Amino acid sequence: MPDYTIDVQGMVDFLTALLNIPSPTGYHEAAIEACENSFSNLPLALHRSRKGVLIGTWEGHEGSAPRGLTAHIDTLGAMVDTIKKDGRLKLTQLGGWAWGSVEGEGVTIMTQSGQTYRGTILPTKASVHIYGADARDFKRDSDHYEVRLDIRADDAEEVCILGISVGDFVAFDPRIEIGKAGFIRSRHLDDKAGVACIYGAVKALADAGLVPAQRAIVHISNYEEVGHGGAAGFPPDMAELLTIDMAAAGGPQNSDEFSVGICVKDAGGPYHIEMKRRLVALAEAADIPYRLDVYPYYGSDGEAYWRSGGDVAVGLIGPGVDASHHYERTHVDSLEATARLIAEYLLAE
């Protein structure tokens, strides 16, 4: 067995820094740049595609069947849809989240000119003292939520003068908390935790002086939450693609927050059987805790590549995330298991 060590603390530090950079889908530049800076210390030849994907190439012992790894830095978020007469903001969604999952959340509005403003997502009838039963029971949809800005502005005109406009991006506060027991609580672990696992795996192998069996392509995607992140950006000779994205843990699922999830099937159908066989065999041989699972309402960048015509074998693994697309949680053990399985995959003959 090749000898390498996953720097779990280094991976958590990378993840924390990335979580603190707002990157709702479509607003990816700063997060991609942060990845580029961290990845520049790894043995990857880096470039960005026209779409903004960060692509890193790592020469392997062989280049006959290059292996891709993809994970996405874009997250759920929102955009200003309407500036209401009273100066509050109606939002439109970026990605698939439930309105109740962001009720009361702090937000940052990023304006066209680069200014930022703070506010809170609230129900349009928030106060029980004013609205009684209507504050408790209402339809959780875009018409019943708004952003209350922390600025003195009484109407839409005053808000516009500050530079806020329709189309401005809105980022939810991640609210990161890392507990002594190893839990990591934050929004947007999907899929910044996956990006961190790739970073941890490549760094571990590089630190140990190891080289992947085949040329590896690291693809950090920026439009996954809207379905087409993985549609482009891979070289034509790539033979297989391992997607690193969260495992949906909780409730009836088989995934958990302490192992690496290997997805067998999601809403887009089954992943490639040969990839699944190999990933299970690698996990067993290296004694990595893993969970096979099926995610009913889930899609990935691996499927996006398949649907765009990618003629490769596609697999999906990732850290277990509880309450995904809500206020999420995972555990360092899950990050470590995922990074180890990525490392084993890269080394495998």
Q: Which residues are catalytically annotated? A: 224
What is the pattern of x (binds Zn ion, CB under 5 A) and - over residues 278-317? Answer: ----------------------------------------
Question: CB–CB of 230/300 below 8 Å?
Answer: yes
Residue range at the interface with Zn ion (CB under 5 A); choices 36-44, 152-160, 239-247, 304-312:
239-247
Q: Report the nearest approach of Zn ion to the CB of residue 291 (Å).
A: 17
Torsion of CA 232, 302, 46, 340, to 10 degrees: 180
Q: Which residues contact 31 (CB under 8 A, 6 or more apart)?
A: 18, 21, 22, 23, 73, 74, 222
Interactions with Zn ion, residue window 148-187 (CB under 5 A): none
Which residue among 74, 146, 173, 191 contacts Zn ion (CB under 5 A)?
A: 191
Residue range at the interface with Zn ion (CB under 5 A); choices 75-83, 84-92, 101-109, 245-253:
245-253
Q: Report the nearest approach of Zn ion to the CB of residue 298 (Å).
A: 8
- Nearest residue (CB) to Zn ion, 205 versus 249: 249
Q: Tell which residue, 49, 65, 25, 33, has the closest CA to residue 232.
A: 49
Q: Which residues contact 93 (CB under 8 A, 6 or more apart)?
A: 76, 78, 142
Name the phi and psi angles at 111, rounded to 5: -85, 170
Report d(CA 263, CA 271) in Å as an integer: 7
Which residue among 146, 190, 256, 257 contacts Zn ion (CB under 5 A)?
A: 190
What is the pattern of x (binds Zn ion, CB under 5 A) and - over residues 45-74? Answer: ------------------------------
Name the phi and psi angles at 155, rounded to 5: -150, 175
Report d(CA 72, CA 241) in Å as an integer: 14
Residue range at the interface with Zn ion (CB under 5 A); choices 49-57, 103-111, 244-252, 327-335:
244-252
- Nearest residue (CB) to Zn ion, 184 versus 347: 184
Q: Report the nearest approach of Zn ion to the CB of residue 150 (Å).
A: 30
**Does 256 sit near Zn ion (CB under 5 A)?**
no
* Amino acid (one-letter) located at 216: A
- Nearest residue (CB) to Zn ion, 145 versus 305: 305
Number of helical H runs and strand E runs in the chain: 8, 19
Q: Quick one: which H or E segment has residue 205?
A: helix 189-207
**How big is the site for Zn ion, counted in residues (CB under 5 A)?**
3
Angle in degrees, CA 24, 156, 136, rounded to 5: 70
Q: Report the nearest approach of Zn ion to the CB of residue 189 (Å).
A: 9
- Nearest residue (CB) to Zn ion, 53 versus 89: 53
Q: Report the nearest approach of Zn ion to the CB of residue 191 (Å).
A: 4
Which residue among 245, 257, 301, 322 contacts Zn ion (CB under 5 A)?
A: 245
Residue range at the interface with Zn ion (CB under 5 A); choices 148-156, 190-198, 307-315, 338-346:
190-198
Radius of gyration of the chain (CA): 21
- Nearest residue (CB) to Zn ion, 245 versus 344: 245
- Nearest residue (CB) to Zn ion, 214 versus 253: 253
Question: CB–CB of 166/92 below 8 Å?
Answer: no
Question: The tokens of 56 are what?
Answer: 């890193």
Q: Report the nearest approach of Zn ion to the CB of residue 263 (Å).
A: 11
Q: Report the nearest approach of Zn ion to the CB of residue 301 (Å).
A: 8
How does DSSP assign 321-348, residue by residue? EETTTSSEEEEHHHHHHHHHHHHHHHH-
User: Given the rule CB under 5 A, which residues bind Zn ion?
Assistant: 190-191, 245
